[in-house]
Amino acid sequence: MTSQLILGNGHGLAIASDSAATYGTRTYEDAQKIRGLKHPHRVAVLQSGEVDLFGMPVSVLLEEWNKTLGDDRMPLEAYRDTFLSWLGHNLSKWTGEVEMDRQVGDALEAELRQIRAGEIEVLRGGVEEVLEKGVEGVLADLPSVWVEEHQDAVLRVIKERSEWVHSRDVYDPALPPMADGLFSRLESRNQEDSWTPQSLIDSCFEGLPRSEQIDRALHEHFRLMVGRSYWITGHQITLTFAGYGSDDLIPTVASVIIRGAMENHIARSDEEAAPARKVADGRFALWKSVAQDQTIRLIIYGHNRDLMAHGIDLELGPVPVLPVDEAEAKGNPGVAVEAAPYADLAEDTTDRDAIEQWTELRQLGEKFVERADALSHRNYWKFMDTIARLEMKSLTDTTRSLIAVEALGKDLRGDQPTVGGDIDVATITLRDGFTWVRPQ
């Protein structure tokens, strides 16, 4: 992981990043995550998240792209878009269809196993019987009418999973229209040499209830996955472009999350470019944190919103359940109110009062968090007002100090040292462009 911070005002930008790189359980402290573009470009690129894209270090790709830049400066967002275009046109130099298909296949297989786990839960006979006889043994003992019932249950599980995927944002509008072409190509491959979506279904669903309707639902589920924030390649690399575009007098940042590729299209979600904004007395200030920033935000905002919300959840506990709802949850979902155990308690005023009281307390807790947010906003603007007034030396010292505090916070909590190592600091100004700031 990473912790990076960009602070800016009318004088320029100060950029700081840790140098820790974590691979599994091991952390190395020699990663350079800031790269300044060559003269005359007044832009730097910060990298966080995964370090490779289909096996090639992103740092190498950025350096190769940097060599292709001429002397004409661009709007800041154009640097980001130009890099993504260059990346797409050069994918075939280090990866290919086989590798991209392997990533898709791994994601689809994991999704099928997730759905299969939900299907096993609906099998009659209980966990003990499944463990004793195996899924196939349980199904073999079922009357045909129960097999049809299980097929309906399987469809419900797929539908519920599809509804969850559908609720995810479409982060790249270019991808969903490409889904049909992707799966048509995958289905037409020779199954003796390669997997296909259908062969994955056959393998992962062996022994479970099947029907043409189930297979169609799964294929539609696959198509639904493409282009949503539940992405099928598993990559997540964040690049932040910071500096001055061709006509800029105030600094700007523009980020993109790269999530893999489909054919020669780079799957990504862009953030709108954010220039420094006016604060008190008409001065400009900008701040942008990347990746791990829990301690930094605590300093800036004065409170930990997530911690307060979690505390409220723990204090309130789960929503109370009426006896009839508990019967439905533990037994047959089709049970009628009058047939539920202790049905006379379903209308018990005490139970319903408990739910109303829980709801009122929940709303009070949410209002408390909202009020804390409003109060912390005052701290934020005080911070922004201070940033707007700092000279460049103080700006660079502040960025370095805040990254150091983030690393210290993780050390004091005993967390894995995913923020650490030397802190690299650089500045970008209209006059000097990109400049490294060496520690004194």
Query: Is 339 a member of any domain?
Result: no
Nearest to 24 by CA among 416, 424, 436: 416
> Do 197 and 105 share a structural domain?
yes
Q: Could you give the percent of the chain with pLDDT greater than 90?
A: 52
Is the pTM of the predicted complex or chain greater than 0.85?
no
Q: What angle do CA 21, 23, 29 make, to 5 degrees?
A: 25
Residue 74 phi, psi dihedral angles, 5° rounding: -130, 165
Q: State how beta strands 424-429 and 252-262 pair.
A: unpaired
Residue with tokens 């006889």: 133
Q: Is the pLDDT of residue 364 over 80?
A: yes
173: pLDDT strictly greater than 80: yes
**What per-residue confidence (pLDDT) applies to 440?**
64
> Could you tell me the pLDDT band of residue 19, with boundaries at 50, 70 and 90?
confident
Residues 413 and 288 in one domain: yes
Same domain, 50 and 169: no
On whether residue 355 sits in a domain, the answer given is no
What are the backbone dihedrals phi and psi of residue 32, each rounded to the nearest 5 degrees, phi first?
Answer: -100, 120
DSSP string, 358-397: HHHHHHHHHHHHHHHHHHHHHHHHHHHHHHHH--HHHHHH
Q: Which pair of structure tokens corresponds to residue 383?
A: 């911070």
Q: What's the pLDDT score for residue 357?
A: 85
Average pLDDT over residues 9-30: 84
Omega of the bond leading into 417 within 30 degrees of 0 (cis): no
Is residue 125 left, alpha or beta, with left meaning phi > 0 and alpha meaning psi from -120 to 50?
Answer: left
Q: Is residue 376 part of a domain?
A: no
- Average confidence (pLDDT) over 346-360: 69
C-beta separation of 38 from 324 below 8 A:
no
Asked if the structure places residue 185 within a domain, the reply is yes
Residue 299: the pLDDT is 93
pLDDT value for 404:
93
* Tokens 């020669």 -> residue: 264
Q: Around Cβ 349, how many Cβ atoms within 10 Å?
A: 7
Residue 351 lies in a domain: no
Higher pLDDT, 51 or 439: 51
| Cα dihedral value 173, 179, 182, 187, nearest 10 | 170
| Alpha helical stretches, state H, 264-391 | 294-301, 305-316, 323-330, 349-389
Task: Supply the CATH number for residue 414's domain.
Answer: 3.60.20.10
pLDDT for 119: 65
Q: Are residues 38 and 15 in the same domain?
A: yes
Q: Residue 352: what pLDDT? A: 67
* pLDDT at residue 334 is higher than 90: no
Question: 124 and 182, same structural domain?
Answer: yes
Q: What is the mean pLDDT of the chain?
A: 84
**Is a pLDDT exceeding 80 seen at residue 329?**
no
Average pLDDT (21-50) is 87
- Phi/psi for 52 (5° steps) reads -120, 150
**Of the given ranges (13-27, 90-104, 371-385), which has the lowest mean pLDDT?**
13-27
Task: Please give the residue range of the domain that contains residue 198.
Answer: 97-225
Amino acid letter, 220: E
Can you give the pLDDT at residue 414? 77
Cβ contacts of 367-374, under 8 Å, gap ≥ 24: 368/308, 368/312, 369/305, 369/308, 369/309, 369/312, 372/303, 372/305, 372/308, 373/305
Residues in the chain: 440
Q: What are the CA-CA distances from residue 366 to residues 133, 303, 321, 374 (Å)?
A: 49, 15, 21, 12
Residue 369 has pLDDT above 80, yes or no: yes
Q: Is the pLDDT of residue 424 over 60?
A: yes
pLDDT at 37 over 60: yes
Q: Are 229 and 167 in contact (CB under 8 A)?
A: no
- Which pLDDT score is estimated for 182? 93
Q: Which residues of 57-81 are buried (b: 16+ CB within 10 A; e: fewer)?
A: ebbebbeebbeebeeebbbbbbbbe
Q: 244-253, 296-305, 386-395 — which is least confidently predicted?
A: 296-305
- Average pLDDT of the residues in 150-168: 88
Residues 146 and 181 in one domain: yes
Total structural domains in the chain? Answer: 2
Based on the domain organization, do 125 and 9 belong to the same domain? no
What is the C-alpha separation between 5 and 23, in angstroms, rounded?
22
Question: pLDDT higher for 355 or 89?
Answer: 89
Give dist(CA 71, CA 211) in Å, integer.
61
Q: Does one domain contain both 28 and 142?
A: no
Instruction: Give the pLDDT score at 31.
Output: 84
Q: Which residues pair with 26 in a beta bridge?
A: 23
Last residue of a domain, one of 202, 225, 248: 225
Binned at pLDDT 50, 70 and 90, residue 415 comes out as: confident
Single-letter amino acid code for the residue at 49: G
More confident residue, 151 or 258: 258
Residue that is last in its domain, among 225, 244, 267: 225
On the question of pLDDT at 185 being above 60, the answer is yes
| 288 and 413 both lie in a single domain | yes
Same domain, 218 and 279: no
The tens digit of pLDDT for each residue in 93-144 reads: 999 988 899 989 999 999 998 888 776 655 544 444 444 445 555 555 544 4
Same domain, 198 and 63: no
Q: Is residue 25 part of a domain?
A: yes
Q: Give the whole-angstrom CA distance, residue 210 versus residue 98.
A: 29
Which of 185, 205, 225 marks a domain boundary? 225
Q: Is residue 85 part of a domain?
A: yes
Q: Please state, in angstroms and rounded to a whole number, the distance separating the CA atoms of residues 35 and 135.
A: 54
Is the CB of residue 311 less than 8 Å from the CB of residue 21? no
Asked if residue 387 is part of any domain, the answer here is no
Largest CA distance in the chain: 81
The answer on 51 and 181 residing in a single domain is no
Amino acid 321: pLDDT: 65
